[in-house]
Amino acid sequence: MAGLQIGEKVERVDGRKLRYEEFVERYLKGNRPVVLTGLMDGWRACSDWVNPNGRPNLPFFARRFGKSLVQVADCCTRDFTDQKRLEMSVADFISHWLGLSAEKCADDLNGSEQMGSLLYLKDWHFVKEYPDYVAYTTPPFFNDDWLNLYLDSHYMHRDSDIHRDKNEINCADYRFVYMGAKGTWTPLHADVFRSYSWSANVCGKKQWLFLPPSQCHLVFDRHLKNSVYNVYDDVSETQFPGFKKSIWWECVQEQNEIIFVPSGWYHQVHNLEDAISINHNWFNAYNLSWVWNLLVEDYNVAKEYIEDIRDICDDFESICQRNLEANTGMNFYGFFILITRFALANMIQLYHLRNEEDAVSNSSIKAQYFISNLVSIRAVASKMKSFEAFAGENLNSCSMENRSAFSDVKKILEEKDFHELCMALVRAYETTDGRWEQNFEIGKGPLCPKGSLLLNCLRADCGVQNFVTASSSPICGPEDLIRLIEHAIINSSSTSGDFVMLSELCDGANNEVR
């Protein structure tokens, strides 16, 4: 690591001894990386995918999953800010890997250093493609995953003119498998949507280099447009004048260890041995503002790029949003739909807590999750109000598919996809915090006992629909969503003295960085 200043080693913690509340405070809210041990026991992947000698069981992948088409990065060829991507079958990728290993052995014997391309299988949507093959269980620390919970039941893109097939991002998830030989690597980058991520090393060893968000400007050029590609290159001091001032965090991740990557940390990763990893990108209430801030940053770039056609264009904002969606994977409207539906899901669970028969203190603990989520959504919605995309004339030109997906609350409450999201949200919290296990089973308590219809409780006097829709129907933009959230929290607070009052939560919400 000649030339790099290493300031800190990433902390290593036994995940079996870490409580969820500690993980939230130290790493989610603290936005700090950590290596977690002891969380991969019993994973099928750790037996099926690994030979007794600890190396990848490549013939198993070729036999079992060989026909799958995957994206493969050529680690020897740069393509703009990334590596050149190829598409090939898993069987062909494995053949290349095995051939590369045989070639290396021959070269070692001959004293030659010539080798073929180093190919790295990345972003394989393994869970989507093989849902019945349960390779692993997501550790409880990472179950509060709004991104993948949402994509399990909803499209990211709703416009009818966007082609929807199994290879499109709107039908995908952000759960991946990575596979690469020793020497494969990933260039310096920050994660998609500025999400959190976690990466579990099924086999092999990786080196990680991290740069805290407060120093990320140091890896950009003078115009803050282009960033360093490879920190081990001879980085031009003229082009990147701040690079030598950067102080990095470093760690070596061993087999059966999981690394948590916080929002906004630039990082570069090298496989020190043949390696297989399982990786998720995810966000929730604690880093929701990071997602919105990235969308704003990328929106400003998209807007600036076409600013010269504003005066001759009737649908300038619509074009900005389409370009944002193409470049970033989500636009303002898609994000607003997502947070609106999570707001409604949290309101419904909050309503049903009022009728729980367990101890008031237990209800209060559960309520705090939902109220905290709603306050985070409210804080982000407050930032959204001032943007042109949510002005009346632009909302009116928004596609019908997008507008109805956030505006018609009663329709949303009746959708099967929304019911599935609510069920998934509760399952996530049940597996995250052990205090939820008692009297909080699926089909009971917070969800309607019939399970499939959230609005048809066994109780004849259930008023969940009135509770959710009373203050604002339809939702025409961020201001309506804010009013709806405030209505829900105030009404919940009034039913129990132990619920945290809205005023206490909202005073600092807009100033809080989560």
**Is 242 in contact with 12 (CB distance < 8 Å)?**
no
Task: Tell me if 130 sits within 8 A of 176, measured CB to CB.
Answer: no
Predicted local distance difference test score (pLDDT) of residue 495: 44
The total number of residues shown for the chain amounts to 514
DSSP codes joined into one string, 395-430: HHHS-HHHHHHHH-HHHHHH-HHHHHHHHHHHHHHH
Contact 66, 91 (CB under 8 A): yes
445: left (phi over 0), alpha (psi -120 to 50) or beta: left
How is residue 452 annotated by DSSP? S
Burial class (CB in 10 A: 0-12, 13-18, 19+), 309: exposed
Res 265: pLDDT? 98
Q: How much is the pLDDT for 490?
A: 83
Determine whether 192 is exposed, middle or buried from the number of CB atoms within 10 Å of its CB (0-12, 13-18, 19+).
middle
Distances (CA, A) of 458 to 148, 323, 359, 366, 451: 30, 47, 21, 22, 10
Distance CA 505, CA 483 (A): 15
Handedness of CA 398, 401, 406, 411 (dihedral sign): positive
Q: Is 80 left (phi over 0), alpha (psi -120 to 50) or beta?
A: left
- Two structure tokens written together for 385: 């109000």
In angstroms, rounded to a whole number, what is the distance separating the alpha carbons of residues 209 and 195? 17
Q: What is the pTM of this model?
A: 0.90
CA separation for the pair 416, 455 (Å, rounded):
12
Closest alpha carbon to 75 in 164, 241, 186: 186
Q: What is the pLDDT of residue 471?
A: 55
**Full pLDDT tens readout for the chain, 514 residues:** 558 999 999 999 999 999 999 999 999 999 999 999 999 999 999 999 999 999 999 999 999 999 999 999 999 999 999 999 999 999 999 999 999 765 664 454 445 444 468 999 999 999 999 999 999 999 999 999 999 999 999 988 776 555 444 444 445 899 999 999 999 999 999 999 999 999 999 999 999 999 999 999 999 999 999 999 999 999 999 999 999 999 999 999 999 999 999 999 999 999 999 999 999 999 999 999 999 999 999 999 999 999 999 999 989 999 999 999 999 999 999 999 999 999 999 998 888 776 654 444 556 777 888 999 999 999 999 999 999 999 988 887 788 888 888 988 888 988 999 999 999 998 898 888 765 543 333 334 334 444 333 444 445 456 677 777 665 568 999 999 999 999 888 877 644 444 444 545 555 554 544 4
CA distance readout (Å), 138 to 96, 127, 305: 31, 11, 40
Both tokens assigned to 237: 């001091």
How high is the pLDDT of residue 3? 81
| pLDDT reported for residue 102 | 54
Q: According to the model, what pLDDT value does residue 302 have?
A: 95
Phi, psi of 49 (to 5 degrees): -95, 0
Say if CB 402 and CB 117 are below 8 A apart.
no
Position 282 scores a pLDDT of: 98
Task: Give the pLDDT confidence score for residue 117 in this predicted structure.
Answer: 86
